[in-house]
Structure 1
Amino acid sequence: MTSATWGIYQRMIAAYREKDRSLGRAAMEALIDAVSQDVPAGLDELRKLGRTLKARATDVLAYFERPGTSNGPTEAINGRLEHLRGSALGFRNLTNYIARSLLEFRRIQTSTTPSSVKSRFRHPSSSRTTMNDVPTHL
């Protein structure tokens, strides 16, 4: 079993490292087909891997269609949530957990998050009353 698992692992790594994405995709498709069909009866873990790869083939093969994508940001958020959950020693209700999570993640800057926060104070050129318009002798 160890040599079969090692061989599948090496084929998977080779597919991901292939410079030509169409060749890498073809290699991964061949691997998924092989692992989902041609596994001997005694290798239950590899059969389960084959079923999983077959079921998630669209997601696995998406790597070859969308270069430069990563689940790194998602994993970073999951890691921070796990840390928050572990350091809080339990929350009494979901609302407190959500509020604490939002406070914690205000510090995360993503490509979709605006880099500057809009001021809550109005600009003096605004048509509304400002502190400069209020008489000081009152």
Structure 2
Amino acid sequence: MFDLVADIEAYPQFVPLCLGLEIRRRTENDGVVTKVADMSVGYRAIRETFTSRVACDPAKREIFVEYIDGPFRHLENRWSFREQASGVCVVEFEIAYEFKSRALSLLMGGMFDTAFRKFSEAFERRADVVYGAP
């Protein structure tokens, strides 16, 4: 599951609302792979691109996403992966965000929460495709 989430280049293939993703820079330091990427998202007439720094730490089984530029005042999220003795992988996802514009917040706020539920479902479906359904 860590590899599936860390493969941000594949997001346009399966993540709802993700129209495109471009890697600006990729570095590796002490096993941590960091990518700076522009993600374009859209829904109906609304289109936005934002830039994030994605740090993938396989030793800690964590992925930390830090917002750089775009329509948010602040955005960060963290993925944590814990394998259980049964072989099941428990995935924890935390996100904190605030839009720059109050108008955009009012327009997108409720939809944004719904979209994150859809994102979660998309990752589960993608895992079924890549690894086989349980």
TM-score by length of 2: 0.26
* Greater Cα radius of gyration, structure 1 or 2: 1
Q: Give the structure with the larger strand fraction.
A: 2
Q: Give the structure with the larger helix fraction.
A: 1
Larger RCO (alpha carbons 8 Å, 6+ apart):
2
